[in-house]
């Protein structure tokens, strides 16, 4: 009898332990279920706020076209800056000689030399080097930044070798691509209106950037003249036009975003003799989220460049980080504690977002590795990684579709949103440059499909988006050639 009682007692204790374990598992499942519901709610809200149906995109394009007209009519007449460039002739193909280019447009800059051989030799030879700008120089002094740039340019010139020939007695000439808002006063001078893309150097604002660079080159003992000051889009337009006469629009989708196009002189009431218009894409009626608004408020230029903050490479990864932070705080998405690195602004860069987004491995290994190496988040489930991919989908698709709406707005302004114009069938080539467009495959494909959606099957066949690899750098060298101080000597 005693043995039976002991056995019964053991059985009861064992059963109780199982029951307790079952309760713990049930509570954990309920807690995890609650977390996933909260996380899912955040994702669904993001999806709704980022929605860009075709009708909304057409509103954006129409608003942009209206603002372009207003911006061409008068200075300050529009939210859209329509800055008139001083490029009065695009390259023809006849350009000859050795020319340099400096392309400053973001966290890196590129220096390039090009040997031009006229219509027969075209671009006979070219070389380039890319330099990262130390972060402290982006918020330091004008003197420090331009000294660093001039020193790197001087190093590059010193490596000039075979295949590059500077005519005897001539000064080296440079095309300076400066991809920030500038009010130009001539083809080779212009004052900085404001910095963007993370730069904030107060003593450069209102100064002539060519004069700043020239003084820095003199301090380096570098004998070089800036023949052309251009925006990256103008450079891309020139580079594209050099190889294809149908290029009439240039778009930059990289760290920042911008567009340039060829405008008719009579369509610019504020025009004073300069034919090419370049506008910063800022339009109304944008699908903003709380993450965008918070990012803008905390940025170096709050209330400005809103369109760029939705579509360009500097900001997409940061938007994803802010979404993940909210999910970590409100839904314990990564566990009971919020990963500290997730609180660091811009710690998640768009190239890392792109790498995760393009992860097609069965277990999304790249996503897991990026979370671990960048954010210190380990042991993520496949479900968690899939959710992150979905967030990348939403943010990248909104950016690409809005960028397409911007391009569509420019085409509408130019009358190139139809097949027939002035009784003739027209072909339109849009030269696109920038790391975001080049490397973020999902973004690029979404941009292309949205253009087809907006233009329609027929018209979209006549509008070609063409990647112009480093078009702005080559274009700047070409513009230096087409505005050379020695042109009259060569022609005589």
Token output for 290: 């709380």
Contact 59, 446 (CB under 8 A): no
In angstroms, the CA 293 to CA 184 distance is: 32
Residue 478's H or E segment, with its range, is helix 471-482
Token output for 426: 């027209």
Residues 6+ apart with CB under 8 A from 317: 346, 348, 349, 350, 351, 352, 353
79 three-class SS: coil
**Rounded-to-10 torsion of CA 90, 96, 100, 105:** 20
C-alpha atoms less than 13 angstroms from C-alpha of 286 in its C-beta half-sphere: 24
100 three-class SS: strand
CA dihedral (38, 40, 44, 46) positive or negative: positive
Contact 462, 417 (CB under 8 A): no
In angstroms, the CA 111 to CA 472 distance is: 11
Greatest CA separation for the chain: 124
Which active-site residues does the annotation give? Answer: 197, 232
| CA 390 to chain CA centroid, nearest Å | 21
């Amino acid at each position: 009898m005693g043995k039976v009682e002991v056995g019964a007692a053991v059985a009861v204790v064992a059963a109780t332990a199982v029951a307790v374990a079952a309760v713990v598992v049930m509570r954990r499942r309920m807690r995890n279920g609650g977390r996933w519901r909260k996380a899912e709610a955040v994702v669904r809200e993001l999806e709704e706020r980022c929605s860009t149906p075709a009708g909304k995109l057409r509103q954006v394009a129409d608003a942009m076209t209206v603002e372009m007209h207003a911006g061409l009519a008068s200075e300050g007449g529009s939210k859209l800056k329509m800055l008139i460039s001083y490029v009065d002739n695009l390259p023809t193909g006849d350009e000859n000689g050795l020319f340099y280019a400096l392309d400053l447009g973001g966290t890196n800059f590129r220096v390039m030399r090009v040997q031009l051989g006229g219509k027969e030799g075209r671009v006979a030879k070219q070389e380039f080097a890319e330099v990262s700008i130390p972060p402290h120089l982006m918020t330091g002094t004008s003197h420090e930044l331009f000294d660093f740039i001039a020193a790197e340019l001087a190093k590059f010139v010193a490596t000039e070798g075979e295949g590059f020939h500077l005519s005897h007695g001539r000064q080296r000439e440079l095309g300076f691509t400066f991809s920030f808002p500038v009010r130009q006063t001539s083809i080779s001078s212009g004052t900085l209106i404001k910095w963007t893309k993370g730069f904030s150097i107060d003593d450069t604002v209102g100064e002539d950037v060519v004069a700043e660079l020239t003084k820095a080159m003199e301090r380096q003992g570098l004998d070089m003249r800036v023949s052309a000051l251009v925006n990256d889009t103008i450079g891309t337009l020139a580079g594209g036009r050099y190889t294809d006469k149908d290029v009439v629009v240039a778009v930059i989708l990289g760290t920042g975003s911008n567009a340039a196009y060829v405008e008719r002189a009579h369509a610019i009431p504020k025009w004073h003799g300069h034919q090419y218009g370049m506008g910063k894409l800022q339009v109304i009626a944008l699908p903003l989220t709380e993450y965008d608004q918070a990012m803008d408020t905390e940025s170096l230029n709050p209330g400005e460049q809103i369109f760029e903050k939705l579509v360009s490479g500097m900001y997409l990864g940061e938007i994803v980080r802010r979404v993940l932070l909210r999910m970590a705080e409100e839904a314990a998405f990564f566990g009971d504690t919020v990963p500290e690195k997730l609180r660091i602004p811009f710690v998640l860069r768009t190239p890392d977002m792109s790498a995760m987004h393009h992860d097609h491995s069965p277990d999304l290994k790249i996503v897991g590795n990026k979370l671990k190496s960048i954010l210190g988040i380990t042991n993520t489930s496949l479900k968690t990684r899939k959710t992150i991919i979905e967030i990348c989908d939403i943010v990248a698709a909104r950016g690409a579709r809005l960028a397409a709406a911007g391009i569509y707005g420019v085409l509408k302004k130019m009358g190139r949103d139809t097949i027939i114009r002035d009784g003739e069938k027209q072909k339109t080539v849009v030269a696109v440059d920038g790391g975001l467009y080049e490397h973020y495959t999902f973004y690029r494909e979404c941009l292309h499909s949205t253009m087809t959606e907006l233009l329609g099957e027929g018209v979209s066949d006549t509008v070609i988006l063409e990647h112009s690899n480093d078009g702005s750098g080559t274009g700047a060298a070409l513009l230096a050639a087409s505005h050379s101080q020695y042109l009259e000597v060569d022609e005589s």
